[in-house]
C-alpha cells in the first residue's frame, strides 16, 4: 500500500527529548544544512504550501518539528552550518540534533538534504559519516534541482554520492522532480 500524503498534520515542536511526541510510528528524520530546503521538501511531499514553515532566512527552524504523514512521522531537524546564527544558538543545536539521532527509538531512517548545486561541505561530510556509523538506512536528497540543467543534475548527484557515500536522489520542491522516488523510499517504512 502506498503512503496517503493527504492524511498529514503537524504534531508538535521539541527542543528536548522530554518534549518528543509519544507514538508508535516510524520516524524519518531530515537533516541538512540550514536553508537547503528541508521544510520545503516536506511541503512538496504532501502537496501543501504551509505544513512546514519555510523562510528566506536561514536558521529558521530552531527546534525539532514533528509531522505525521499517514503512518509515518517526518522530523524536521534544525539546519546546521549556518555561520550567521549566534554561537549561543549553535551550542544548543548540536545536542538537539545529536541527542535526537542517538536516542530516539522511533527513528527508522535519515534523509540527508543537500543543495545539488554545491559541493558538500565539511559539515555535510561529518554528518554523513556520523549517519553511516549509526547503522540505519539513509539517503541523500539533492534538492533545488530546478536551479541547474538536467545534465548537471546527474554529474552533481554522482559527485555528491561519491563524497558522502550514501545512496542519493535528485529532488526539487519547486518542480517536484524526484517526488515519486522519495515517496517510494518512504513507502518502505510504512508498517501494517
Binding region for ligand GTP (CB under 6 A): 32, 34-40, 54-56, 58-61, 79, 143-144, 146-147, 172-174
Residues 28, 108: contact at Cβ < 8 Å? yes
One character per residue 36-55, x = contact with Mg ion (rule: CB under 5 A):
--xx----------------
First-to-last CA distance in the chain? Answer: 9
Binding of Mg ion at residue 61 (CB under 5 A)? yes
Residue 146 C-beta: closest distance to Mg ion, Å: 18
Task: Please enumerate in sequence order all residues whose Cβ is within 8 A of that of 110, keeping only pairs 6 or more positions apart, or say none.
Answer: 28, 29, 30, 31, 101, 131, 134, 136, 137, 138, 139
Residue with cell 515519486: 180
Residue with cell 539513509: 138
Nearer to Mg ion, 39 or 43 (CB): 39
Which cell is 47 given?
Answer: 502537496
144 binds, among Mg ion, ligand GTP, none (CB under 5 to 8 A by kind): ligand GTP
Residue 39 C-beta: closest distance to ligand GTP, Å: 3
Residue 45 C-beta: closest distance to Mg ion, Å: 14
Report the interface residues with Mg ion, using CB under 5 A.
Answer: 38-39, 61
Amino acid at each position: 500500500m502506498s503512503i496517503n500524503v493527504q492524511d498529514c498534520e503537524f504534531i508538535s515542536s521539541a527542543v528536548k527529548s522530554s518534549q518528543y511526541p509519544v507514538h508508535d510510528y516510524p520516524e524519518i528524520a531530515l537533516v541538512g544544512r540550514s536553508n537547503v530546503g528541508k521544510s520545503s521538501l516536506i511541503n512538496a511531499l504532501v502537496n501543501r504550501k504551509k505544513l512546514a514553515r519555510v523562510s528566506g532566512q536561514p536558521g529558521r527552524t530552531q527546534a525539532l518539528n514533528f509531522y505525521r504523514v499517514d503512518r509515518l512521522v517526518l522530523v524536521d531537524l534544525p539546519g546546521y552550518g549556518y555561520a550567521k546564527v549566534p554561537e549561543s544558538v549553535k551550542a544548543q543545536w548540536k545536542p538537539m540534533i545529536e541527542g535526537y539521532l542517538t536516542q530516539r527509538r522511533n527513528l527508522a531512517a535519515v534523509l540527508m538534504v543537500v543543495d545539488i548545486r554545491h559541493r558538500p561541505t565539511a559539515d555535510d561530510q561529518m554528518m554523513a559519516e556520523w549517519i553511516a556509523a549509526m547503522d540505519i538506512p539513509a539517503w541523500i536528497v539533492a534538492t533545488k534541482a530546478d536551479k541547474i540543467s538536467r545534465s548537471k543534475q546527474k554529474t552533481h548527484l554522482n559527485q555528491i554520492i561519491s563524497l558522502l557515500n550514501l545512496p542519493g536522489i535528485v529532488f526539487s520542491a519547486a518542480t517536484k522532480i524526484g517526488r515519486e522516488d522519495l515517496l517510494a523510499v518512504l513507502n518502505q517504512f510504512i508498517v501494517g
